[in-house]
Structure 1
């Protein structure tokens, strides 16, 4: 970034952050702000006029100076002399590169001309629900005059770009009394001589529109509530959502794997119970930021809440086929030889009356934001229907945005996804030791991770270390209790849409001889590891099969599953049980594309919850070494003479579940530095 007026930039960042922090003002990553001011040209030493504007893809609420583009105002406005007309306006985007001042900074967005051509020191372009409600009303132009008088001017829909910038600049020049405009089908733009005045004008437009809707709007803008479509009680709603989530995720992932998000806010449930649900949903969203995240329209389950689960699943399948055919027809109706290839015909928003909304994206954050955007769209439709009639931009215009060459170029610039992006991992015993190392590695490779542990507080703390709830969540999971396991799996599918990858890692051990091992000792170890692995695999497999997306089940067994060591009859026997579950389930689940593999570690002392809980002291006593030397003792007896640590096991999980071993199932991988007595062949 070039030398600049720090006050101007600081004020712009502060204003942007305040506006973006309140979602009534704009959606996530929506809108942009700018400020114009003097700076010193480091080459000539002369003072030049610059514009700092939020760059492409940034979010106002978290904007920093690095997210700004800096452009020379004189060069930007000189582009009007070479503008070739609206049919070739996309060429102006490349021309913006020649207006940049200095190195660094963000890529200029398509709205840069809107900010630069308007004769105002400060400009805000935002996507508030209240403003878009006016912008998408059939009577939007008349409502703009009624609500704001001459202070806000109506601008008919035009796709963002250089021409829209010229249009708004002309409006500003023709209406010196105006403080902003309503952009038909899109949002609002406001301006001011100071940063404070610009922000004040933006908020005045937003709040004035909201107040007018509240005072003059119809009491039931979505019509009457339809009997049989009302929201189910919360417990029943969440139970049905957990049953449907994997099925719906499979639908949304027909073309490519998606992560899901579930929403059952009051505004969603009210909309889903209304008589206008079907016709309004069919009209689709209008603001470009909305439908680029949600697709042009959602898929709506048209059954009452009294329908059985099987009836709902069958109907969802039928609706999916119809949705895909409809989307293809939309694409073929508007595409030409220059259009990018169709990107996928699956819905990103699925609405289930009485239950809620399921939204999808390439990762959890994108899925969550898609849901937030459709809530924005519901609010917009409510406002428009309150005052007039919801009238979004046409499908032809939506297509021009969705399959815009500039939008395609933006998608092509996205970084290559990591190996496990879009995968949802459920790891038991993941608050410490091997499980925590596995969860950490999978999260680093792009997976969404459910940290399942007997101790909820520790599970949540471990998840928080991995990132926010878009990355990982912690759940309580007593793996020896079927109801607790199902509750944990339900929490996973409600958080992320489903499950792709299960790691049966939870375990404990008691080092005792045959004569000292009690029935309670035997039952405890078999309940946690043999029975626990069975229960987790069973509950997760139900979700995986419902998804129809395949998956992975990994058992963290042990070298002791094949090696007869002293004083651990209960532990070794249950590990052998787990090892054979791998073989059995590999055969049974293979027809569903689910691979089942095992890992046999040995001597993982450092960071191990099992060794720290007394097992280490017992094994050290058994072998006649000090406990602090146990790890090296295990290493010295191996072929490689190297200690095994939790991260080594995590590496094996990564390889088994990554893209390289897609044809491997029923395999046990030793991670023991080479114990000849435990060789599998």
Structure 2
């Protein structure tokens, strides 16, 4: 890409980042900004007028130079003379590629015409809640005049594209006093002679609309409180959310697996507590950015906050069936012969009065952003209803956006998902050694990961290293206690919507002879590994069964589950217990599509908390070697003469849960570099 004039590019990026950093101005990845300027053409040596504009798919708050598309203004303006009309305006998007200047840069977005054709050096197009509230009010045009006078002009709804760019350019030309416009059903556009002026005009429109709404809104824009629909106390609503989450994720994943996000913000809870929420939710969202990520409307549980979990589950399943039928009808009413195939009839937003909102997407970020967008939509409805009546664009227009050929092409260009994409993994004992390596491997292959460990600080540090809350979270868990295990599973389903893959890895060991092993030693090891694995599998299986999406449980057992060595009675007995749990659960859970398998490592010294806590020194003493040489000793007693590392175990877990082992359950995979005495028989 050509190097833009530093002052022009720097000012545009700085303005974009400031506007995009504040959610009152625009939603994530919503809107675009531009600047026009001149630089020397490297071919002719003559000045050339250029447009720098945020490219397709970028986010204003994090925009960098790489996210800008750079186009020649003379070529953009020349497109006006060859424009074939609104029925063929989509063809103009491909034409933007022939207007590009230099190499690299982002792909031009559908809004490029708006920025290139409007006669102003700097243009902002944003999706602020306050602006969309005016844009979706039934009398939005009159409100625009009342609020802004002649400084802001109303533009009737038109789908984004070349014609909208022409419309706004004409309106600006006919209204030289105007600093921007309200786009019916959509958002705002503002302009200025300088970058500072454009930003100031954008903020003036946003803040003026918000102030007017605050001053003139009726007291209860969503209607009076609905008896029995007030928010439950925090602990109670989160417990109910965790209990409902597996059912809701299963509902959202009938057509394709989804990752979830839970929100119990006051904005959501207050909306669901009001009498008009069923009517407003049924009207759906309006701004194209909103319903592209939330579907045209949510699924709303029509029960009061105090309804029991079982009653709520049964009703949710009934409503899900009705939602799918309704969405299929929506598609059938508007699809034409050249429409893309239906992309799934499951809801992306599920609202539960008194509890909160569940949102879904192909990954955690997408799910979280979908929830943010529906929160934007609630704010829009509040503003519109407070001044007038909320009147979003009609269903046919929503369909034209949702099943737009250009949107379909964008989806087809997305990279192929990783093997474990949409899968949610829970790994116990995951702050170090085998558990940490396994969590890292699963995340690298596309999974969302819950890093569980007795030490919360270490669990959170491991999760942060993996990638942060959209990829991994750290939770504390003592797997020997049922209530702690349930809290761990609840944290997992509230963070990511559910569970798919559970790795029973938590463990410890005391290297003692039979006569030295105390009853407390025995109980401790069995509580953590035998009982702990049982408790984790039981709590996780309840989620897996309710989701109806299958799943995997993997036990990190040991070669000691089949190999008899000295001074190891308590540890090896618990590992034998774990090994048979694999067989028992494989037989029991297979009817639910849940695979249960095990991995049998030999001694993994590197990074091991067990070895570092005294086990290594004891085992080294048993075998008559230095502790620092224990890994080498273990390697030399194997057939392959290789030391077993944490990543070797992690790789085996991935294979067992990955796309190539879909028909394998009840298996133990030795990862011991070959110990003949531990061969499975």
Which interval holds the TM-score relative to the shorter structure? over 0.9
Secondary structure of residue in 1 paired with 2:327: helix
CA distance in 1, matches of 2:496, 2:193: 46
Q: Where do residues 195-594 of structure 1 align in structure 2 (5 Å cutoff)? A: 195-594=195-594
CA distance in 1, matches of 2:239, 2:306: 14
CA distance in 1, matches of 2:179, 2:305: 48
Secondary structure of residue in 2 paired with 1:150: coil
CA distance in 1, matches of 2:39, 2:408: 34
Show the counterpart of 1:657. 657
CA distance in 2, matches of 1:305, 1:59: 37
Show the counterpart of 1:80. 80
Secondary structure of residue in 2 paired with 1:555: strand
CA distance in 2, matches of 1:481, 1:303: 34
Secondary structure of residue in 1 paired with 2:150: helix
CA distance in 2, matches of 1:502, 1:274: 40
Residue 529 of structure 1, CA deviation:
0.3
CA distance in 2, matches of 1:442, 1:222: 44
Residue 163 of structure 1, CA deviation:
0.1
- 1:624 is aligned to 2:624: yes
Show the counterpart of 1:123. 123
Residue 603 of structure 1, CA deviation:
1.7
CA distance in 1, matches of 2:282, 2:521: 61
Residue 74 of structure 1, CA deviation:
0.4
Show the counterpart of 2:54. 54
Q: Residue by residue, what CA displacement relative to the aligned partner does 1:600-624 show, whole Å, maximum 9, x if unpaired?
A: 0002111111111111111111100
Give ranges in structure 1 of 5+ residues lacking alignment. none
CA distance in 2, matches of 1:305, 1:664: 43
CA distance in 1, matches of 2:437, 2:45: 55
Q: Residue by residue, what CA displacement relative to the aligned partner does 1:484-518 show, whole Å, maximum 9, x if unpaired?
A: 00001101100000010000000000100001101
CA distance in 1, matches of 2:276, 2:508: 56
CA distance in 1, matches of 2:228, 2:587: 43
CA distance in 2, matches of 1:671, 1:616: 19
Show the counterpart of 2:100. 100
CA distance in 2, matches of 1:393, 1:414: 28
CA distance in 2, matches of 1:468, 1:24: 25
CA distance in 1, matches of 2:121, 2:254: 48
CA distance in 1, matches of 2:468, 2:220: 38
Q: Residue by residue, what CA displacement relative to the aligned partner does 1:90-141 show, whole Å, maximum 9, x if unpaired?
A: 0000000000001100000000000000000000000000000000000000
CA distance in 2, matches of 1:372, 1:306: 26
Q: Where do residues 171-190 of structure 1 align in structure 2 (5 Å cutoff)? A: 171-190=171-190
Residue 309 of structure 1, CA deviation:
1.1
Q: Where do residues 103-182 of structure 1 align in structure 2 (5 Å cutoff)? A: 103-182=103-182
Q: Residue by residue, what CA displacement relative to the aligned partner does 1:45-70 show, whole Å, maximum 9, x if unpaired?
A: 11101000000000000000000000
Show the counterpart of 1:192. 192
Residue 17 of structure 1, CA deviation:
0.3
Secondary structure of residue in 2 paired with 1:38: strand
CA distance in 2, matches of 1:43, 1:521: 80
CA distance in 1, matches of 2:147, 2:495: 41
TM-score (norm. length: structure 1):
1.00
- 1:677 is aligned to 2:677: yes
Show the counterpart of 2:64. 64
CA distance in 1, matches of 2:589, 2:476: 26
CA contact (8 A) 1:3 1:40 kept: no
CA contact (8 A) 1:4 1:40 kept: no
Q: Residue by residue, what CA displacement relative to the aligned partner does 1:390-414 show, whole Å, maximum 9, x if unpaired?
A: 0000010000000000000000011
CA distance in 1, matches of 2:526, 2:456: 22
Q: Residue by residue, what CA displacement relative to the aligned partner does 1:553-609 show, whole Å, maximum 9, x if unpaired?
A: 000000000000111000000000000000000011111111000000002111111
CA distance in 1, matches of 2:434, 2:4: 51
Count, aligned residues: 681
CA distance in 2, matches of 1:305, 1:191: 47
CA distance in 1, matches of 2:464, 2:306: 39
Residue 39 of structure 1, CA deviation:
1.3
Residue 424 of structure 1, CA deviation:
0.4
CA distance in 2, matches of 1:304, 1:185: 32
CA contact (8 A) 1:123 1:190 kept: yes
CA contact (8 A) 1:3 1:42 kept: no
Residue 307 of structure 1, CA deviation:
1.8
Kindly report structure 1 stretches of 4+ aligned residues shifted beyond 3 Å.
none
Show the counterpart of 1:9. 9
TM-score (norm. length: structure 2):
1.00
Secondary structure of residue in 2 paired with 1:170: helix
Residue 150 of structure 1, CA deviation:
0.3
CA distance in 2, matches of 1:310, 1:537: 22
Secondary structure of residue in 2 paired with 1:102: coil
Q: Residue by residue, what CA displacement relative to the aligned partner does 1:207-240 show, whole Å, maximum 9, x if unpaired?
A: 0000000000101000001001111111110000
CA contact (8 A) 1:290 1:373 kept: yes
Residue 3 of structure 1, CA deviation:
2.9
CA distance in 1, matches of 2:531, 2:307: 35
Secondary structure of residue in 2 paired with 1:389: coil
CA distance in 2, matches of 1:514, 1:572: 12
Secondary structure of residue in 1 paired with 2:102: coil
Secondary structure of residue in 2 paired with 1:596: strand
Residue 4 of structure 1, CA deviation:
2.0
